[in-house]
Each structure stands twice: as structure tokens, then as C-alpha cells.
Structure 1
Amino acid sequence: MAQPGPDIAKLPFEAALAELETIVDKLEKGAVALEDSIALYERGEALKAHCDRLLANAQMRIEKIALNAEGKPKGVAPLDGE
């Protein structure tokens, strides 16, 4: 049976995406036992959800960039509206 990887919540986006790509590759090749495939699929789902959350947070930060009168970035506004 496959060993669980590092705690997903602590992974940066790039590491989570790389692990997700590795899982997809293994599953597509079909050379993994059924139980391992299920475990990999479940971890892949969790990694995808984590990546989605990180991307949503990044998008919110980008949308909060404040522009000056010329339309150029002058800083960022806090996410909580303070």
C-alpha cells in the first residue's frame, strides 16, 4: 500500500501541483494495485482542493492591488478590508 505523503495543508502550491501530476501519471499508467490506486486518487482529490484554495487566495490578493491615478500599482489593500 502507498505511504502517505507530507501534510497537504503545509505544501506550497508548486509542491502540491508536482505531487498531483505524479499521482495522475501513476494512475494513467495503470501499474498500481487497486488499493493503492484508491489511496492515490483520494490524495489527488485532496491535493486538487488544496491547489484550488491556494489559487483562490492568490486571485483575491491580486484583485486587492490598489492602483494610482495613472492606473499603476501603488500597493495592496488588506484582504480583510482594513
Structure 2
Amino acid sequence: MDSKLMQQFVEENNCTFLYLILANEELKRISKIPFEIKKDLGKKLTTIALDHVAADDIPDYFIPEEEKTEGKMQDIIDE
């Protein structure tokens, strides 16, 4: 794990708590990878998750919901 990279991320963004939440979500995602792939990673999953978050190399976990515009009742029924 590159602790300098993690330290730089936390200092620049001032969001330690968010960092840990994102690392936990990344760990959940990595844990779902098939065993054949995980065994070739070469590091502990927690270390990989922390590195991904520090390098900003993670997918969007929280996607905002799309707002539907209010329309006529017939438009809503047709959907």
C-alpha cells in the first residue's frame, strides 16, 4: 500500500471519513471478483481497496436518481 498516496489524498480532499467509506465499498466490490482472479492480485484485498480509493480509481457507487418530469396523466399511463 502506498501510504504517501493515501496521505496526499486525505490532505488534499480533507475527507478521512469519506475515504474510509469509499474504501469499504471498493472492498465489497473486489470481494465479489472470482477466486481465480483474486489469487493473482498479489496483495491483500484491503490494501488493494485503499490503493484504488487513494488513486481515485474506483467506479461510481452512488449514482443520483433521475428525476421524472411531471406530465399529463395520459403520459404517465402510457409509460
TM-score, length-scaled by structure 1: 0.29
